Amino acid sequence: MVSFPPKDYIVNSTIENFKIQDKELDFGDFEIISVKQGPDAKEWKGKLGCKGFPKVILIKDFPDYVEQNSDISGFAGIINSMSDLLLAFRLFRVGDIIFGDYLIEDKETEDAFNKKGSCKAV
């Protein structure tokens, strides 16, 4: 069995069908930011590689993440954690909240891995 060293990742994801009044909401291990339309939205669009201009972004830290041997992608634990977080969001909001495109970044090497989703202008 191969043992992988822990890595620090950060995940950026668009959130569709979700509005916030504040510029930023901090929940400890993740935050939600409102993206100002214009240069900020253009920068996030390029970073995430989505088709439209994002309005709300979720940023979540995964410190000391360890890849599992059975995980082909290397990020199944991260994706599962994001799915659990999305489920929690849906418990408190009527309608379809969607985490669109993901960008998973290695904090040390700054390597980035995109997971394409359904980022759209809303």
What tens-digit pLDDT sequence spans the chain (122 residues)? 566 788 899 999 999 888 888 999 999 989 999 999 999 999 999 999 888 899 999 999 999 888 877 777 778 888 889 989 988 888 876 678 888 888 999 888 877 776 554 433 33
Instruction: Answer whether residue 120 is part of any domain.
Output: no
The domain total for the chain is 1
Instruction: Answer whether residue 2 is part of any domain.
Output: no
Q: Classify the phi-psi angles of 110: left when phi > 0, otherwise alpha if psi is within -120 to 50, otherwise beta.
A: left
Instruction: Answer whether residue 64 is part of any domain.
Output: yes
Instruction: Answer whether residue 1 is part of any domain.
Output: no
Instruction: Answer whether residue 121 is part of any domain.
Output: no
User: Could you list the residue range(s) of the whole structural domain that residue 102 is in?
Assistant: 7-115
Please state whether the predicted TM-score (pTM) of the whole model is above 0.85: no
